[in-house]
Structure formats: structure tokens, C-alpha cells
């Protein structure tokens, strides 16, 4: 899956039907783009104008215009085509399109497609000593030079982290069968927005594991259940973890620092004798964090369904601290914190208002402050008026958070 926020579209690849299905945010089909032989992994350009699709059975990467929903270009990867040759996964990192492919029935490697010059340039044959099959890839725009690849032969997974800043995949860390309890049959992986951690879904153990990308050391776990098979991470860091289990919730939501889910979903089946299970790698976030998309299969009908899991806004609070008093025309620093059950995305800001006379008026907007990943912020002012000055910190809210504000009053004394 790939989610296009600019046009509010969801793209789903159909490798066996040779097409890409396009739906709107409600799950209604917009178009089926045919002629995409072995359409597998996908990646969306940073401006959301182009969808790149790995065409395993064509040995190529297709470029699709997200506005017209027409293929505009096709790039031969030089890998050959078919189940044990063509590209199956894509990720954008280091200014290139990286792809995972098979070199034969038993081995895989990394390749890249560079579209920055007058002619496309393909490079292959990286990571040859690591993967027993076509690797899955993960990257994040906030850490554009980091690429994570993973592959499992069904017994033990291999994870590798690469620095791709030079145009080559320079291995930074590698680990086979990672985790305290190993990693059997890896199904999916995702990077946190800052690129510091990778979360994996392996059929066993029965929880989702996290590893530091710096050295692939164990870095926590998320309590799910039998047969983890999907993971997706929102821009604000909220983790959606899914399983292929019939008797437990299908999807769990976590904040990064809490191993216990704050919300779960269970997909109903078409009959008491059927099951409705999440498909491998079957989770994706809307970029604004307002909903999760999930692909499920109902055993009663053997059909695939796109489930749209809408999220409510979560209550948000703002706390503000400042000195009880401060001299006029001197730096005065406000500190505070936004708090909610789910985190805040990169680029979140709060507005700072100052009211020199708390008994009248609405005050003046004097600036804004950037909110850190942990919700904290600070702002420095130089008030000129003496007496009680009231500061209000206002957060406007977003798709995941309600608006909120907090106030503090400071006694401004003589110079």
C-alpha cells in the first residue's frame, strides 16, 4: 500500500492481477490501473506527484502520475523478470529509488535507480552476501540517508542498516536472527520518523520487536499476539501493529515508549465459521494520522477488503511555567509541554500570546515555539510593561489532537 495525502488516495498493488488499485479515503474504488505486470512494492515521491511501482514480472519500475493515474515512464532494472529476478520492494533514500530483487531462487540483493541526471542510472549487486531472497526495504524522509533492509528465509531473519549518502549502500550494522527470541518468517518492517528505530513483524515471537538502527541492538517490544504480520508508523511516531491471529485483536496502536496498546481493533467475519485476518504488510497510515488503512481477507468469501479505521481526536493539554516575577526589558523564558495519549508530529508548533493587562483585551500574538518530540517547548520574551503580564500558549489541534491552551501570569518589575 501507499497513501497519497495530496489527492486523498490509497494505492494497492495486485502482483498476481498485474494492476494497481486506487481507492479514495473511504475505500471506494477510483480506478484500476492495468498493465503493471507483477506490481509489488510501491513508494510515493516526496511531493506526492509520482507513485513508483516495482514490477517483478516485467523487471522494471513504473512511474505513475498520481493526478492522472496514468503510467508516465518505465525503467528497466536490468535484473531480469519473474519470481526469482524482478524487483519486489522500493524505498526512497539518498536521492535515489532503492529496490530489492532476487538474483536467483536462493539469493537477493539491493539495487538503485537514479533519476537526478539527464538519463536514468541503474546500479545493482549490493548486499549480495546478506540476503537469501528479495529483501524488504524501509526508509524515512527525516533521515534520508538511512536505508534498512530485511529478509527471511522462513527460519531466521536478517536485518541490515545502510548509509546511502554516497550513492552506495554502505553497511552500518547487520544482525541475523535478531531479538531475544529470534525472528522467524519476517513479514514486515517500518522505521520510526527519526530513523532511530526499526520495528519488525515476525511470525514468531508473538510480539512486535524494535531495534536501534545505530547498531541493531534490542530496543523494546510491543505486546501483540500470535503471528505478527504487519507494522506501520505514523509521522508522529504512533505505531500500528497487526497480527494474523483469529482469536485476538487484529490491530494494536502504541505510542513509541509504551509496550501496552492504547487502542485495538478486531475485524468481524462474514459468518460465525469464518475468520477475517489481516494480510502481511497490510497496514498503512494516512499522513495526517487521522486513520489507518488495513487489508483483510475473509475466509468465508476469500475476498480482500480495504478496511478504513478512523481515529478520534485525543484530548490534549498544555502546561506552561514561568518565573513568578521578572525584571522589565530582560529575557523571560516560558517553558511548557503538550500532552496527549498519542505523540505530536515533526513541525508541530504552539502560538504565544501576551496580554500586558490581564483585566482587558485578548492580547497580542508575539511568536510561536516548536514542539519537541517529547511535547516540550520554550519561548523567550522581553516584556516592556510593568505589572502583571499574562502569557497564553495556544495549540490549534490537528487530525489526532484537540485544540488546547494554557496560561501563566508573571509579575514584571522595574529594571
C-beta separation of 32 from 21 below 8 A: yes
pLDDT score of 75: 98
Read off the pLDDT band of 353 (50, 70, 90): very high
So what's the pLDDT on residue 409?
95
pLDDT tops 80 at residue 358: no
Pick the residue with more confidence: 345 or 138? 138
pLDDT tops 80 at residue 415: no
- Cα–Cα separations (whole angstroms), residue 273 to 269, 270, 301, 303: 8, 8, 11, 15
Q: Which of 192, 199, 104, 84 is nearest to 141 (CA)?
A: 192
Average pLDDT over residues 159-177: 96
pLDDT of 256 strictly over 90: no
- In sequence order, the 6+-apart residues with CB closer than 8 A to the CB of 59 are 76, 77, 78, 79, 80, 81, 82, 85, 86, 87
Start-end of CATH 2.60.40.10 domains in the chain? 317-413
Residue 142 backbone dihedrals phi, psi, to 5 degrees: -75, -20
- Taking CA atoms, 46 is separated from 92, 125, 240, 278, 392, in Å, by 9, 26, 22, 28, 35
Cell 500500528, located at residue: 240
Q: What is the pLDDT of residues 370-405, one digit of tens each?
A: 999 889 999 999 999 899 999 999 999 987 899 999
Query: 279-290, pLDDT tens digit by residue?
Result: 999 999 999 888
CA triple 394-142-3, angle to 5 deg: 85
Q: Which CATH number fits domain 178-311: 2.130.10.10, 2.40.50.140, 1.10.260.40, 3.40.47.10?
A: 2.130.10.10
Q: What is the pLDDT of residues 269-322, one digit of tens each?
A: 877 777 889 999 999 999 988 899 999 998 877 778 999 998 878 899 999 999
Residue 333 in this model has a pLDDT that exceeds 90: yes
Distance CA(58)–CA(39), nearest Å, equals 9
Which cell numbers in the block locate residue 268?
A: 468481524
Q: What is the mean pLDDT of the chain?
A: 93
* pLDDT tens per residue, range 175-217: 999 999 999 999 999 999 999 999 999 999 999 999 999 999 9
Per-residue pLDDT tens for 16-65?
Answer: 999 999 999 999 999 999 999 999 999 999 999 999 999 999 999 999 99
| CA dist 217 → 126, 161, 179, 198 (Å) | 23, 12, 8, 10
Position 414 scores a pLDDT of 84
- Distance of CA 345 to CAs 268, 293, 371, 376, 398, Å? 32, 19, 9, 12, 10
For the chain, where do the domains classified as CATH 2.130.10.10 start and end?
178-311
pLDDT-wise least confident of 85-89, 147-151, 330-334, 384-388: 384-388
pTM for the whole structure: 0.85
Q: Which CATH number fits domain 317-413: 2.60.40.10, 3.40.1160.10, 2.40.10.120, 3.40.50.450?
A: 2.60.40.10
Amino acid at each position: 500500500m501507499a497513501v497519497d495525502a495530496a489527492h486523498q488516495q490509497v494505492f494497492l498493488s495486485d502482483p498476481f492481477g498485474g494492476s494497481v488499485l486506487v481507492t479514495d479515503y473511504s475505500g471506494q474504488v477510483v480506478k484500476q490501473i492495468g498493465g503493471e505486470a507483477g506490481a509489488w512494492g510501491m513508494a510515493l515521491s516526496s511531493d506526492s506527484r509520482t507513485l513508483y511501482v516495482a514490477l517483478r514480472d516485467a523487471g522494471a519500475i513504473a512511474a505513475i502520475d498520481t493526478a492522472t493515474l496514468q503510467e508516465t515512464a518505465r525503467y528497466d532494472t536490468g535484473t531480469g523478470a519473474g519470481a526469482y529476478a524482478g524487483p519486489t520492494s522500493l524505498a526512497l533514500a539518498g536521492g535515489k529509488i532503492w529496490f530489492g530483487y532476487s538474483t536467483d531462487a536462493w539469493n537477493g540483493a539491493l539495487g538503485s535507480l537514479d533519476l537526478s541526471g539527464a538519463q536514468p542510472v541503474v546500479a545493482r549487486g549490493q548486499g549480495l552476501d546478506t540476503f537469501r531472497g528479495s529483501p524488504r526495504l524501509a526508509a524515512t524522509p527525516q533521515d534520508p540517508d538511512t536505508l534498512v533492509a530485511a529478509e527471511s528465509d522462513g527460519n531466521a531473519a536478517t536485518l541490515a542498516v545502510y548509509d546511502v549518502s554516497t550513492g552506495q549502500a554502505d553497511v552500518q550494522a547487520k544482525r541475523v536472527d535478531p531479538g531475544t527470541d529470534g525472528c522467524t518468517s519476517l513479514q514486515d518492517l517500518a522505521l520510526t520518523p527519526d530513523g532511530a528505530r526499526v520495528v519488525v513483524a515476525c511470525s514468531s515471537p508473538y510480539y512486535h520487536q524494535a531495534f536501534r538502527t545505530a547498531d541493531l541492538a534490542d530496543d523494546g517490544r510491543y505486546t501483540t499476539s500470535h503471528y505478527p504480520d504487519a507494522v506501520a508508523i505514523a509521522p508522529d511516531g504512533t505505531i500500528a501493529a497487526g497480527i494474523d491471529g483469529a482469536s485476538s485483536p487484529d490491530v494494536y496502536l502504541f505510542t513509541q515508549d509504551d509496550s501496552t496498546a492504547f487502542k485495538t481493533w478486531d475485524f468481524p467475519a462474514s459468518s460465525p465459521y469464518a475468520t477475517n485476518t489481516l494480510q502481511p504488510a497490510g497496514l498503512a497510515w494516512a499522513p495526517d494520522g487521522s486513520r489507518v488503512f488495513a487489508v483483510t481477507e475473509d475466509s468465508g468469501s476469500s475476498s480482500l477488503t480495504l478496511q478504513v479505521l478512523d481515529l478520534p481526536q485525543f484530548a490534549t493539554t498544555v502546561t506552561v511555567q514561568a518565573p513568578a516575577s521578572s525584571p522589565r526589558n530582560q529575557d523571560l523564558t516560558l517553558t511548557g509541554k503538550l500532552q496527549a495519549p498519542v505523540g505530536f508530529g515533526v513541525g508541530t508548533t504552539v502560538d504565544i500570546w501576551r496580554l500586558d493587562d490581564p483585566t482587558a483585551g485578548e492580547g497580542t500574538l508575539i511568536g510561536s515555539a516548536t514542539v519537541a518530540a517529547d511535547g516540550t517547548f520554550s519561548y523567550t520574551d522581553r516584556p516592556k510593561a510593568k505589572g502583571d503580564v499574562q502569557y497564553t500558549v495556544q495549540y490549534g489541534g490537528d487530525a489526532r489532537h484537540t485544540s488546547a491552551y494554557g496560561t501563566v501570569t508573571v509579575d514584571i518589575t522595574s529594571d
